[in-house]
Structure 1
Amino acid sequence: MQRTDKVRQNDRQSLPDTDWSIIVTTSRQRVSEHAYVPDAATVAEIDRIFHALVTERKAPAYAYGIFDRNGLILSGHGGTATRIDRPDESLELDEHTRFRIASMSKSFAAAAVMQLAWQGKVDLHAPAADIVPQLANVVPWDRDSFPITVHDLLAMSCGLATDDAWADRQESISRAELQTLLSQRLKSIYSPGERYEYSNIGYAAIGEVIRNASGMDVPDYVRTHLLEPLGLTETTYDWRDVPADRLCRGYHLDPDSDASGDASAAAWVPETFADPGAFSVIGGVISSVHDVAAWDAWLARGFEPSDVGSGDGAPEADALGDEVLPRRYRRLMQMPHTPMPPVLRSGSSRGWLTRRDFNEIEAYGYGLIVKHDERFGDIAYHSGGYPGYGSNMRWHLDSGLGVVVLSNGRYATPSVLAIRALSLLLGEASRAGSGSAGIVAGWSFPLWAETRAAQRQVNAMLAGLGRTGDVPSSSPDAAACERAIASLADMLAMNVTLDWTYAERGAQLAKLLSVTGLPVGGADAAVDAAGTVGDSVTVSDEHADSPAQLSWTVACAHHPLRCTIQLNSLEQPQVQTLEFARADATRTDDIVTVTPPTRILN
């Protein structure tokens, strides 16, 4: 697929003269063994979404990728880029083109700290001043404040003020200059751990945590212990390490460059690349769509099951990257630690935001942000904005399906575009597979064996109600239902009869069955594609909120019956909740909980 886009020429324009009229070609690299690969129509829409960066003059060029836990699925690009050494010469765009990824760099710093915590060299909940002595000079919000911990620095809850505009110009300072800054009596705006505030100097202090705990500078540590083991050869903190024909120059718009006052005719002016320094930890990583997708896939594999409930087909630990950092630490990075206030911010002048765009709960994790989407479940992400660059990476925790977009416009805002692209992908993927949740679910898990066993006993009990010896019973009375429920006593927790006696439960079930009719089915029953046969009743529409909970529908003569069980967490789990209801009945609860769909793996 090709698009032709005119780039407005201006006599102060710094992009190549040969590219005023360009062909924007989307290149794609397909990788095998992906659970979902978007079709041509979906890819065309993704192309259209991201190309708004160029048409709306957010950036001269961009590259994007779609990935899952197995890595890059496909990639695309648009616009025009120039070489860092010769700004009048065009640069080929593809998934290997390098961009500065700005604050997405924080995930590398957080992973380094996680690795040091795993090795016992850093205590996340100890005062940060124990390892970075200069932080002892921070002026507390009040005398009753807790000290700043390493956790607070990682989770953006250290109490220091937001400092993006200032911090983005500090990258090249020396370590001595950083230590001088940290030695000052930095002022707090709240007590540590109490609320969210995006602090770059706090993450610069994370760099000192890494240096003091490991004895290595951050770029050396990250390269040796993360990049090289993971094969991320296109990622660095130093732009001088990147071949000139692979590094995309950054730009900003000069709004005063057009005498007519037409902002759309403003010239793109090249940015100067800052050299690496003590502040590089906050946003100095340079990488490609290929490597960022691989990095995100490795983080996403933190949620890949291995031994628990996954059987003989479970991936080996080394295939999941555990030899670099165990999955539990990667999951910790993607857990919500500090709640964030909602923000409505449009990245597209033509695309009005609606509540549907941002109807989520968000929190900062460790170097990543986690949001709970009411449709799809939890999503991890981080954006990046820097002089000359703008970026976003985000992925769905349960499936690992994600997008990354890198662009070369100063503080370009691809976040909203990435949100829309991932929402489109997740929606399409959820319709691509079998079952109610398709490929995408809010949470996928195997049920406990005890949960399945309890379901079978309940089904057998219901099947038995339809028979008295070998003679079918047209309508079991309350006494028969009481005896049937009492037959489950061995699996029931002690609260069950305290909440409702067997007699009360029997009367309720008998009344319900008089409306629904008796269960129908059996081993010779005809079952449609959505149903299964179990224990002489026909079962369908299973749903579980957790491995210890299950609800399902049993076919009956007149109306379907909905059954629900909830087990406790004892060594031998017991059924603490046993409920029956008409499946087609309208609920009248005062509180309705909306949760994304789950998927049962067994």
Structure 2
Amino acid sequence: MRTPDNKLAVLLATAAFFSGALPIVSGCASAPPAPRAVKAAAPAPLLQRFASEPAPTPRFLDPERGRRLRSVTAEVQGLAQRAAERERLPALALGVVIDEELAIQKVTGVRDVALGGAVDEHTRFRIGSITKALTAAAILRLRDEGRLSIDAPAARYLPALAGVVYPTRDSRPMTVRDLLTHSSGLPRLGVFSPASTARDVTEREILATLDGFGLESAPGTETSYSNLGYSLLGLLVGRAAGVPYRRYVHDALLAPLGMRDAAWDGAEVPSASLASPHVRAGGAVTPIRPWRLGASESTAGLYASLSDMGRFIGFQLAAWPARDAPETGALRRSTVRESHMMARNGSAFPAAGGADGPGLGWHVREDCDLGHVVFHNGLIDGFSASVILLPERGVGVVSLANVAGADLESLNEKVLGKLQGTGAMVARVVPPSPSVRRAAQAVASVIGRARTDLLDRRLRPGWFPEDHLTTLRQELRDVGSRMGACALDGSAMVESATSARFGLRCEHGALSVAVRVDTSPDPLITSLSVEEQTGATAWEGARRNARPARCR
């Protein structure tokens, strides 16, 4: 029989939440009254000049990449099914997004252990703290619209923040960016309870927390995860937008992204489409009532389906790489990429051999095997969720479950392991820019020829003193006498838009030439070196040196 008032279950969930054992908190229910908009100064017009020759767009080289990644569909689905059984998950929804498509999915279990009901890709689960990614996106969109500055004191938009107590006299004012990056000095929670199942958290309660409230550290000096900070960001969205937080998020983000299943109030969702929250206690899995986060919903309150999350992840991945294509999304691609970058290098649990820290609404890790990793977990009132994005590889994984404490991050990592095993989950390759290729071609054209001084006109004046030029010409003649005439062989290792190493096929062997050019209208060479190649040795050494020292 369903026991929504199970006191033990509620106490266990609440205790875990307040102890910090659960990495989330706060966020849903009825919307607060419409706030008054803060009048923002009109942004100064920005003048930008763009390259007549755009930087080359990184691309995937394998035409079979998608098929190879999908080839492990059955294995991924098996991983999800075994995880659901092992962890006694009432329901689990797992999806793999490749580029912008929900390419692999597994949905299993029931909406409610007492009432039954199969789940599908449109069943709503509470995503917990992954809501923060949407809150940060709302703040950044308001920034892009000129309605606020994330580097302004947060008290400009929320005057109640003037009531907090700074720990040292040299502390600078807390900024909106500090709130976004969990470096405001605010603790994890305020003094209000987000765990009520009987009434909504009110805006008054949240703001009352701030009067005389001491910061744990000076803003900008330490990283400490703060649900309270994201509760305040939700209120700030309402102030700057002039409409309630949830309305702005719906109109500016959810609707344009096609997240049609998304909701803030579980009570407004048809029961046949809503997963019930559960906790595990004493060997039993028991339904509980959801927390009513009210005015605190911006930190953890959104309900979404697997279908919704596939669209959301596809939108995040579509921001990469930087390119010339027209903007078509709910947020500028550059703004999405900004949110994915590490804003502060700091974590209480640093990754071995890597580096991690907060982004803007996300956590970011530089991983020796997976490269640039963007992720967030959610855990609240009987729900668990996890998202991992690999923007450079065009892959994302999401898992949703309707029980607290499910280890979905480990499941997602195992799924990535299966995908990596295909050999197709590789990063995009940056093709050499035309200007760098022309520079390498100019070098190749003089090797094995008497007039090596013909290269001089492709060298940036002032970067190669006369004595260096004399030495360079002689080295090119010496190499040419041993190797004969050379030409580019089509291979290249790109370091940046202005620097690359090219392979040369010569009459009597092989060379590699590394060139760097400037970014002037007529790019000229600023750095040049030529090395003899013995098999793959030179290329392998270059590849090893391209990896961060911590990963070698």
Secondary structure (helix, strand or coil) at the match of 1:160 reads coil
Q: Residues 342 and 362 of structure 1 are in contact (CA less than 8 Å); yes or no, is this contact kept in structure 2?
A: no
AA aligned opposite 1:74: I
- Equivalent residue for 1:518? 484
- The SS at the match of 1:63 is strand
Task: Summarize deviations over 1:98-149 as a string: whole Å, max 9, x none.
Answer: 1110000001111111111111111110000000111112211211111110
Which residue of the partner structure matches residue 273 of structure 1? 290
Listed as ranges, the matches of 1:438-453 within 5 Å are 440-441=426-427, 443-453=428-438
Q: What corresponds to 1:576 in structure 2?
A: 526
Give 2:206's aligned amino acid. Answer: L
Q: Which amino acid in 1 is paired with 2:335?
A: Y
- Aligned with residue 263 of structure 2, among 222, 233, 236: 236
1:294 alignment partner in structure 2: 311
- 1: CA distance between counterparts of 2:114 and 2:484? 80
Does residue 456 (structure 1) correspond to residue 484 (structure 2)? The answer is no
What's the counterpart of residue 333 of structure 1?
339
Cα separation, partners in 2 of 1:588 and 1:329, compared to 1, 3 Å: closer
Residues 242-321 of structure 1: matches in 2 within 5 Å?
Answer: 242-255=269-282, 266-307=283-324, 314=325, 316-318=326-328, 321=329
Query: Does structure 2 conserve the Cα–Cα contact (< 8 Å) formed by 1:395 and 1:402?
Result: yes
The one of 386, 402, 409 equivalent to 1:415 is 409
The Cα shift of 1:376 comes to: 3.7
The 2-side partners of 1:342 and 1:503 are apart by 54
Which residue of structure 1 aligns with residue 38 of structure 2? none
Which residue type is aligned with residue 83 of structure 2? Answer: L
Give me the whole-angstrom Cα distance separating, in 2, the residues matched to 1:580 and 1:68. 40
Higher alpha-carbon Rg: 1
In the TM superposition, what is the alpha-carbon distance from 1:385 to its structure 2 partner?
1.1
Higher relative contact order (CA 8 A, sep 6+): 2
1:442-591 aligned within 5 A: 443-462=428-447, 465=448, 480=450, 483-484=451-452, 486-494=453-461, 496-498=463-465, 501-512=468-479, 517-519=483-485, 537-584=487-534
Distance 1:39 1:422, change over 3 A: closer
> Post-superposition shift, 1:168?
5.5
* SS of residue in 1 equivalent to 2:311: helix
Of residues 532, 547, 550 in structure 2, which corresponds to 1:594?
547
Deviation of the 1:285 alpha carbon? 0.6
Separation in 1, partners of 2:190, 2:309: 23
C-alpha deviation, 1:185, in angstroms: 2.0
User: Quick one: distance in 1 between partners of 2:291 and 2:207?
Assistant: 20
The answer to whether the 8 Å contact 2:114/2:287 transfers is: no
- Structure 1 residue 34: deviation in Å? 10
**Alpha-carbon offset, residue 250 of structure 1:** 1.8
Distance 1:233 1:422, change over 3 A: same
Match of 1:88 in 2: 114
Uncovered stretches (5+) of structure 1, i.e. residues with no partner: 1-13, 15-32, 256-265, 308-313, 345-354, 433-438, 468-479, 521-536, 597-602
| Secondary structure of residue in 2 paired with 1:232 | coil
Distance 2:384 2:356 in 1: 21
Counterparts of 1:499 and 1:282, CA distance in 2: 63
Larger deviation: 199-208 or 488-497? 488-497
Q: Is the 8 A contact 1:336 1:363 kept in 2?
A: yes
Structural RMSD (CA): 3.0
Partner of 1:204: 231
Aligned to 1:386: 380
**Equivalent residues of 2:100, 2:313 under 8 A apart:** no
How far apart, in 2, do the equivalents of 1:305 and 1:553 lie? 27
Deviations, residues 336-366 of structure 1 (Å, cap 9, x unaligned):
102233638xxxxxxxxxx8xx543222111
Asked whether the 8 Å contact 1:448–1:547 carries over to 2, the reply is: yes
**CA-CA distance at 1:201 after TM superposition:** 0.4
Show CA shifts across 1:289-316 (max 9, x none): 1101101211222224442xxxxxx4x4
C-alpha distance 414-38 of structure 1, shift in aligned 2 (>3 A): farther
Query: What's the % identity of the aligned pairs?
Result: 25
Distance 2:321 2:163 in 1: 42
Aligned pairs for 1:67-82 within 5 A: 67-78=97-108, 80-82=109-111
Which residue matches 2:33?
none
Taking the TM superposition and a 5 Å limit, the aligned residue runs for 1:167-206 are 169=195, 172-182=200-210, 184-206=211-233
8 Å Cα contact 2:430-2:494 kept in structure 1: no
SS of the counterpart of 1:51? Answer: helix
Give 5+ residue unaligned stretches, structure 2.
1-8, 10-62
| More displaced stretch, 372-381 vs 99-108 | 372-381
**Which residue does 1:396 correspond to in 2?**
390
Cα–Cα, structure 1 residues 498 and 161, in superposed 2: closer, same or farther, change >3 Å? farther
Question: What residue identity is the alignment partner of 1:582?
Answer: E
Q: Which amino acid counterpart does residue 137 of structure 1 have in structure 2?
A: G
Q: Which of 48, 66, 83 is the matching residue for 1:53?
A: 83
- Measure how far apart 1:573 and its partner are: 2.5
1:131/1:41 Cα in 2 relative to 1: closer, same or farther (>3 Å)?
Answer: same
What TM-score comes out, normalization by structure 1 length?
Answer: 0.74
Letter in 2 for 1:181: T
Q: 1:180-232, CA deviations, whole angstroms, 9 ceiling, x for partnerless residues?
A: 113x2222222211231111101111011111111222112211221122221
- C-alpha distance in 2 between matches for 1:165 and 1:403: 35
Aligned partners of 2:434, 2:377: CA distance in 1, in Å? 41
- SS of aligned partner of 1:555: strand
Cα distance between partner residues in 2 of 1:297 and 1:505: 50
Give the drift of 1:38: 4.9
**Superposed counterparts of 1:8-23, under 5 Å:** none
State the one-letter code of the partner of 1:568: D
Contact 2:262 2:304 in 1 (8 A): yes
Can you list the C-alpha shifts for 1:273-300, whole angstroms capped at 9, x where unaligned? 1234011111011001110110121122
Measured at CA, do residues 387 and 217 of structure 1 come closer, stay the same or move farther in structure 2, by a change above 3 Å? same
Corresponding letter in the other structure for 1:222:
V
| Structure 1 pair 37–141 and aligned structure 2 pair: CA distance change class (3 A) | farther
Deviations 1:530-580 (A, max 9, x none): xxxxxxx25143110111111111123454211100122334322111011
Output the amino acid matched with 2:171.
S
